[in-house]
């Protein structure tokens, strides 16, 4: 799992590459974005080729922690395999999900203004 980050208009966009599973979930859990915990993040899945329940658990944990500090997690670019995992487990209900990073970032910006 390769994790990279860029800042777009006070939103941390975290790009994931590779497999998000039991062997890599801890890497995501321990990643610390550059912006404060109360700042929203967008997670870009465009280069994630596989997601299992451990990866899903890591995402839910990140979202819970972020929300407890006043932040939000928005997801972008889920491929069909990854989207299917979200649908089967109904975890998609916990996140705002967008087809592209730009739309996700705009949504996070608007949500940040209203918080």
DSSP per-residue string spanning 1-45:
-EEEEEEETTEEEEEEEEEESTTTHHHHHH---SS-TTS-EEEEE
Q: What is the pLDDT of residues 81-103, one digit of tens each?
A: 999 999 999 999 999 999 999 99
Q: What is the pLDDT of residue 37?
A: 83
Q: Please, what CATH class does the domain formed by 37-115 belong to?
A: alpha beta
Helix/strand/coil for 85 = helix
Q: Which helix (H) or strand (E) holds 73?
A: strand 73-76
Q: Is the model's pLDDT at 115 over the cut of 60?
A: no
Average pLDDT over every residue of 106-113: 83
CA distance 99 to 115: 23
Q: What is the pLDDT of residues 18-53, one digit of tens each?
A: 999 999 999 999 999 988 888 999 999 999 999 999
Q: What is the pLDDT of residue 56?
A: 95
CA distance 114 to 77: 24
Identify the residue whose tokens are 């922690």. 65
Q: What is the pLDDT of residue 73?
A: 95
User: How far is the CA of 112 from the CAs of 88, 104, 109, in angstroms?
Assistant: 29, 12, 5
Q: Please, are residues 70 and 48 in contact by the beta-carbon 8 Å criterion?
A: no
Q: What is the pLDDT of residue 113?
A: 62
């Amino acid at each position: 799992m390769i994790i990279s980050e860029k800042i777009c208009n006070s939103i941390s966009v975290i790009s994931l590459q590779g497999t998000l599973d039991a062997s890599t979930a801890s890497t995501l859990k321990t990643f610390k974005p550059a912006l404060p915990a109360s700042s929203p993040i967008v997670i870009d899945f465009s280069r994630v080729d596989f997601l299992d329940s451990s990866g899903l658990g890591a995402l839910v944990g990140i979202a819970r922690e972020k929300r407890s500090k006043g932040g939000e997690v928005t997801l972008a670019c889920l491929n069909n395999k990854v989207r299917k995992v979200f649908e089967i487990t109904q975890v998609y209900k916990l996140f705002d999900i967008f087809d592209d990073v730009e739309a996700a970032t705009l949504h996070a910006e608007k949500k940040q203004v209203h918080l």
